[in-house]
Amino acid sequence: MQALVSEGSPTGLHPQNAQNEPALAVDPLHPATLVAGSNDLVDMQACSKDASTTGACSYPLGTFNLGVGLQGVYFSFDSGHTWDQPTYQGLTAVGCDPLTDSPTNPCQPTVGDIHTVPNFYENGLRSRSDPGVAFGPKPGTDGSFSWSNGTRLYYSTLATNLTDTTIGTEGQNTTTSVVVSHFDDLSASNYQDQSNWSRPYFVDKNVGPTAGLDKEQVWADNAATSDFFGNAYVCYTDFHSFSGGLNFPLKPMVGVSQDGGMTWTTRQVASPSTATPRGSHQGCTVRTDSHGVVYVFFTHFTAGTPGLGFHQMIKSFDGARRGASPVTSCP
């Protein structure tokens, strides 16, 4: 069976079906409910054949239409047989003319229909790249977690401000940071309601001006037998000092939230690396087991031929509340 997930994509001009880096999650209480995310150019201006030859379209990074979100979200309620990419409101460049607008004469995106994760523009942010999705239990009014409360969908992404300059709010003195949004009790009757989406919450409370965060992934502890049931986790890499040249340190980081993704505590979980000699920490996955043990995997890679590298696993037995040490490496 095949099904088109990005069904809100344009059917004519590029960016028709222009997506990459997909992520997928299944609601454990409702296994027929699936959510996917990806980098998606759906809200960028159309790029005609003539415009592409004159430089009027600057894909794939999408910096041409500043402020326009780049994180698609897609829902299925029949185990993936059919999908819907809902329409929300936000900043869009779909109405821009690719023949009259160019990098030297850019169009001004306007508020209108979008098919990406909402509530970024309203908070002065732009969803940027590296999507992650996960389901966990929803916190109750007393802050405790139980499946009887319902489910919470987490959507993680990198974020910039609307002009790709220093964010400058909530301690984010950097151009790129990690955020997590959430959606409670997802169903076929409410997924199109934008008000059910939270605002994006920053994971790292203070990010320096020479740092940049990258390649995040999100997870929620979904085992009721765990001492840390309901905790949400995000792993990512902190490119800590771009001003230091090519051998700037890359710090492997993990954030943990105990209140459903609204406040976070972050920790560096292993020694930083640089491009030489051991390879950069870049790209991660975080998971938990039925006892609440947190497993974080980071990729080490080096440029060149051959590009030797390895994977590093880091375990935490206390809900990632304190730093941890790598316990194994997989060549």
What is the spatial distance between Cα 186 and Cα 93, in angstroms, rounded to a whole number? 28
What is the spatial distance between Cα 275 and Cα 277, in angstroms, rounded to a whole number? 6
Beta bridge partners of 74: 36
pLDDT digits (tens, 9 = 90+) for 198-231: 999 999 999 989 888 999 999 999 999 999 999 9
Residue-wise over 172-198: b if at least 16 C-beta within 10 A, else e?
A: bbbbbbbbbbbbbebeeeebeeeebbb
**Predicted pLDDT at 60:** 46
Q: At 75, phi and psi to the nearest 5?
A: -130, 140
Query: Which DSSP helix (H) or strand (E) runs through 73?
Result: strand 71-76
Peptide bond between residue 106 and the one before it cis (omega within 30 degrees of 0): no
Q: How many CA atoms lie within 13 A of 303 on its CB side?
A: 5
Q: At 327, phi and psi to the nearest 5?
A: -110, -15
**Predicted pLDDT at 98:** 67
pLDDT digits (tens, 9 = 90+) for 149-160: 999 999 999 999
Beta bridge partners of 103: none
For the segment 42-65, the average pLDDT, to the nearest whole number, is 67
* Angle at CA of residue 311, ends 283 and 323, nearest 5°: 75
What is the spatial distance between Cα 230 and Cα 128, in angstroms, rounded to a whole number? 27
Identify the weakest region by mean pLDDT among 5-9, 37-41, 226-230, 301-305.
301-305
Query: Which DSSP helix (H) or strand (E) runs through 213?
Result: strand 212-220
What is the spatial distance between Cα 183 and Cα 155, in angstroms, rounded to a whole number? 8
Specify the DSSP class assigned to residue 50.
H
For the segment 83-106, the average pLDDT, to the nearest whole number, is 82
For the chain, percent of residues with pLDDT exceeding 70? 83
Cβ distance 213 to 178 under 8 Å? Answer: yes
Q: How many CA atoms lie within 13 A of 82 on its CB side?
A: 5
Residue appearing with tokens 């910096």: 63
